[in-house]
Amino acid sequence: MLSYLFRRTRGLMTAAALASILSGLFSVLLIAQINAALTSDSASRANAAWAFAGIAVALMVCRMVSAALFERLGQRALAELRSFVAQCVAETSFAQFERVGSARIQSALTEHSNNVAVLFVSLPVILTNTVIVVGCLGYLAMLSWQLFLFALGVIGLGAVGYHLVHLRAIHYLQSASSEQDRLFGHFRALTDGAKELRLHQRKSRVFMDQILGESVEGVRRLRTYGMSLFVISTSWGQFLMYAFIGLVLFVLAGDGPNQTQVMTGFALVFVFMVTPLEGLLINIPRINMARVAASRIDDIAREMPQGQERQATTQTTQMPALQHLELREVTHQYYHEQSDDFFELGPINLSFTPGEVVFLVGGNGSGKTTLAKVVVGLYPPEGGEVLLNGERVEADGWDAYRQLFSVVFSDFHLFERLLEAPRDGLDEEGNRLLAKLHLQHKVRVENGAFTTQALSQGQRKRLALVVSYLEDRPFLVFDEWAADQDPLFKEVFYCEVLPELKRMGKAVLVITHDDCYFHLADRLVRLESGKLLATEPMDGEQPTSEAVEASVTS
Ligand SMILES: Nc1ncnc2c1ncn2[C@@H]1O[C@H](COP(=O)(O)OP(=O)(O)OP(=O)(O)O)[C@@H](O)[C@H]1O
């Protein structure tokens, strides 16, 4: 991920890095000027003043340029990362998306992306300070190579200690990132379960203290451990610096001819180097935070491969015609990790034709929604095949296949805008349908968007029905659409909407528990424990649920 970002921003990155390196070089030149001025006579000091002023101005300009460019890079990296993750989510198969889960995706889009972007703000500090430290060491080598070697030994010792502590710190940061992914799931429960939490004190307390609270605490603890280890190693580095200055000044200082000049130079350069070195030590953990965050984003991207059945987000696929749709020996499995068992749907043999209304019935958990997801191509079958107009749908044909369907799921989502390609008369058509569903006084379609979504659940479902009509797809699926409707609108749905869709030549699959309307179906399909029990053509009589049960099981 990091190399991808660096590749995408190569030009800007090179310019920003150059400005950082130059500002490091100018800093070293400045300290050399100061040292020269301190140990020279007043005549040569006057000459050095102009050079000093020139270097100071150049340093300021370079610092400004590098900080501004890296800030820009940081924002660009954040935008790139968010687009990348969003693209992965949009293009992966639905089953993969479900496996990754929305908590990890949210975490990648916010916290992990931010942590990676912060790296770009830290980079100028790291680059500039590296150049200063290396430059200062070079200057020390010019003053006295013996002391320089001694200084290298001290820095080496510091680096080994730093590295060892570092490895442990990274381990904590990685654990903190995993815990944080879970934390995002709890944040979601906090908002989605706002009603339930307010209604039940004990539930709320347990959730806040034990579930959310412990997760928040877990992230805090692991991050604190990790970052504290970095602080310890930073302090260790600082101590070594001062120990070195002490050793040079009080133990190693001899009585040679240039000794005062060398000692002044060493002390001055070392004191000057302390701040950049600290800057380095403080910012290196950010690189590691960014690396950990980038690897989490990489994991998510790997788990959401954009395979052959990818969702095309950049081009519009041609919608095929629907004459006949057949599921042949189709199967789908869910694996339940906690109980280590499977739910198996199928093998299913089922067909649909335009102008036919099929009711899909069965007990809770019998697999109705899963079958609907298989029919509409959200789960391409793991076994068996789907034949569209007699031809098998191949791996690269699922995206086009899905364009046949308009679905109102029981956990449907209404987008703010009607996202279908804008067309003339969309608002008028939408408002006509709203009037038909008795919603014209509550909401209107204006400029391709509903004026409000602050409606009851049943009313919002009617909006979803309007969207389905507007999408004008040949196959419509309703997953317990009528469950939230009052008796009047149940009647409208079963006795007016469905017959109208049938007259329009639509194929319609209705998942329902409303047994008093079963007689209105052209065909009744019953599922039990993932198996198709029977498909019954209806003859227009109104059977009781017992009669249906008997007909299905006989
Ligand atoms: N996302 C999922 N991950 C794993 N297993 C799942 C998932 N969704 C459903 N299942 C399993 O599949 C079974 C069938 O679920 P499905 O939602 O298809 O039933 P349903 O007939 O639509 O039920 P209901 O009438 O309650 O809506 C469930 O018993 C459950 O074990």
Least confident segment among 153-167, 393-407, 446-460, 540-554: 540-554
Give the 3-state secondary structure of 274-310: HHHHHHHHHHHHHHHHHHHHHHHHHHHHHHCCCCCCC
Q: Is residue 19 part of a domain?
A: yes
Instruction: Tell me, using a 6 A CB cutoff, whether residue 368 lines ligand 1.
Output: yes
Q: Whose CA is nearest to atom 10 of ligand 1?
A: 334
Q: Span 75-103, mean pLDDT?
A: 87
In whole angstroms, give the CA distance from residue 75 to residue 108: 16
User: Do residue 340 and residue 240 come from a single domain?
Assistant: no
pLDDT in tens, 447-471: 888 888 888 988 999 999 998 988 8
Q: How many angstroms does the Cα of residue 381 sit away from the middle of ligand 1?
A: 16
Q: How many angstroms does the Cα of residue 225 sit away from the middle of ligand 1?
A: 41
What is the per-residue pLDDT for 308? Answer: 44
Instruction: Tell me, using a 6 A CB cutoff, whether residue 166 lines ligand 1.
Output: no
> Which of 369, 481, 525, 526 gets mutated to test ligand 1 (max ligand atoms within 8 A of its CB)?
369
Total domains in the chain come to 2
Q: Is residue 311 part of a domain?
A: no
Work out which ligand 1 atom sits closest to the CA atom of 98: 1
pLDDT in tens, 193-234: 888 888 888 888 899 998 999 999 999 999 899 888 877 877
Q: Is residue 423 part of a domain?
A: yes
Instruction: Tell me, using a 6 A CB cutoff, whether residue 305 lines ligand 1.
Output: no
Q: Of 246, 272, 303, which residue sits at a domain end?
A: 303
pLDDT in tens, 11-52: 888 888 898 889 888 988 888 888 778 777 777 777 778 888
Least confident segment among 127-136, 490-499, 502-511: 127-136
In whole angstroms, give the CA distance from residue 67 to residue 61: 10
pLDDT in tens, 153-201: 877 877 787 778 878 888 888 888 888 888 988 998 898 888 888 888 8
pLDDT in tens, 350-367: 999 999 999 999 999 999
What is the per-residue pLDDT for 269? Answer: 80
Structure tokens at 390: 């007699």
User: Do residue 333 and residue 288 come from a single domain?
Assistant: no
In whole angstroms, give the CA distance from residue 476 to residue 376: 9
Q: What ipTM was estimated for this complex?
A: 0.95
Query: Average model confidence (pLDDT) for the chain?
Result: 83
Among residues 155, 166, 161, 164, which one has the least CA distance to residue 274? 155
User: Do residue 299 and residue 335 come from a single domain?
Assistant: no
Instruction: Tell me, using a 6 A CB cutoff, whether residue 343 lines ligand 1.
Output: yes
User: Do residue 170 and residue 84 come from a single domain?
Assistant: yes
543 in helix, strand or coil? coil
Among residues 525, 538, 220, 251, which one has the least CA distance to residue 371? 525
How many of the other CB atoms lie within 10 Å of CB of 292?
21
Instruction: Tell me, using a 6 A CB cutoff, whether residue 373 lines ligand 1.
Output: no
- Consecutive H or E run containing 134: helix 113-143
Q: How many angstroms does the Cα of residue 477 sit away from the middle of ligand 1?
A: 17
CATH of the domain at 32: 1.20.1560.10
Q: How many angstroms does the Cα of residue 343 sit away from the middle of ligand 1?
A: 8
What is the per-residue pLDDT for 393? Answer: 92
Q: Is residue 79 part of a domain?
A: yes
What is the per-residue pLDDT for 382? Answer: 92
Q: Whose CA is nearest to atom 30 of ligand 1?
A: 365
Q: Which 8-state DSSP code applies to residue 417? A: B
Q: At what angle do helices 145-192 and 259-303 cross, to 10 degrees?
A: 30
Q: How many angstroms does the Cα of residue 366 sit away from the middle of ligand 1?
A: 7
507 vs 445 pLDDT, higher one: 507
User: Do residue 275 and residue 424 come from a single domain?
Assistant: no
Q: Of 271, 303, 335, which residue sits at a domain end?
A: 303
Instruction: Tell me, using a 6 A CB cutoff, whether residue 4 lines ligand 1.
Output: no
Q: How many angstroms does the Cα of residue 512 sit away from the middle of ligand 1?
A: 15
**Per the confidence metrics, is the pTM higher than 0.80?**
no
What is the per-residue pLDDT for 200? Answer: 86
Work out which ligand 1 atom sits closest to the CA atom of 335: 4
Instruction: Tell me, using a 6 A CB cutoff, whether residue 365 lines ligand 1.
Output: yes
Q: Is residue 317 part of a domain?
A: no
Q: How many angstroms does the Cα of residue 141 sit away from the middle of ligand 1?
A: 72
Work out which ligand 1 atom sits closest to the CA atom of 513: 25
Q: What percent of the chain has pLDDT over 90?
A: 25
Q: How many angstroms does the Cα of residue 114 sit away from the middle of ligand 1?
A: 36
The residues, ordered by sequence, that sit 6+ positions from 7 with a Cβ below 8 Å of its Cβ are none
Q: How many angstroms does the Cα of residue 365 sit away from the middle of ligand 1?
A: 5
Q: Span 479-493, mean pLDDT?
A: 90
Strand-pairing partners, residue 406, are: 476
In whole angstroms, give the CA distance from residue 368 to residue 532: 10
Q: Is residue 248 part of a domain?
A: yes
pLDDT in tens, 408-447: 999 888 887 776 656 677 888 889 889 888 888 888 888 8
User: Do residue 289 and residue 148 come from a single domain?
Assistant: yes
Asked if pLDDT for residue 298 goes beyond 70, the answer is: yes
Q: Whose CA is nearest to atom 24 of ligand 1?
A: 364
Instruction: Tell me, using a 6 A CB cutoff, whether residue 370 lines ligand 1.
Output: yes
Q: How many angstroms does the Cα of residue 454 sit away from the middle of ligand 1?
A: 29
Instruction: Tell me, using a 6 A CB cutoff, whether residue 246 lines ligand 1.
Output: no
Q: Of 248, 270, 303, which residue sits at a domain end?
A: 303
Strand-pairing partners, residue 348, are: 330
Work out which ligand 1 atom sits closest to the CA atom of 527: 21
User: Do residue 280 and residue 371 come from a single domain?
Assistant: no
Instruction: Tell me, using a 6 A CB cutoff, whether residue 317 lines ligand 1.
Output: no
CATH of the domain at 465: 3.40.50.300
Instruction: Tell me, using a 6 A CB cutoff, whether residue 334 lines ligand 1.
Output: yes
Q: How many angstroms does the Cα of residue 155 sit away from the middle of ligand 1?
A: 61
User: Do residue 281 and residue 417 come from a single domain?
Assistant: no
Q: How many angstroms does the Cα of residue 410 sit away from the middle of ligand 1?
A: 12
Q: Is residue 318 part of a domain?
A: no
User: Do residue 133 and residue 175 come from a single domain?
Assistant: yes
User: Do residue 357 and residue 397 come from a single domain?
Assistant: yes
Instruction: Tell me, using a 6 A CB cutoff, whether residue 98 lines ligand 1.
Output: yes
Q: Span 244-258, mean pLDDT?
A: 68
Asked if pLDDT for residue 499 goes beyond 50, the answer is: yes
Q: How many angstroms does the Cα of residue 386 sit away from the middle of ligand 1?
A: 21
Domain that holds residue 22: 2-303
Q: Is residue 312 part of a domain?
A: no
- The answer for 530, left when phi > 0, alpha when psi is -120 to 50, beta otherwise, is left
Instruction: Tell me, using a 6 A CB cutoff, whether residue 94 lines ligand 1.
Output: no
Work out which ligand 1 atom sits closest to the CA atom of 362: 21
In whole angstroms, give the CA distance from residue 18 to residue 10: 12
Structure tokens at 382: 């793991």
User: Do residue 215 and residue 147 come from a single domain?
Assistant: yes
The residues, ordered by sequence, that sit 6+ positions from 468 with a Cβ below 8 Å of its Cβ are 406, 407, 408, 476, 478
How many of the other CB atoms lie within 10 Å of CB of 342?
11
Q: Whose CA is nearest to atom 4 of ligand 1?
A: 334
**Amino acid residing at 369:** T
Q: Span 393-397, mean pLDDT?
A: 88
User: Do residue 232 and residue 360 come from a single domain?
Assistant: no
Q: How many angstroms does the Cα of residue 360 sit away from the middle of ligand 1?
A: 14
What is the per-residue pLDDT for 546? Answer: 45
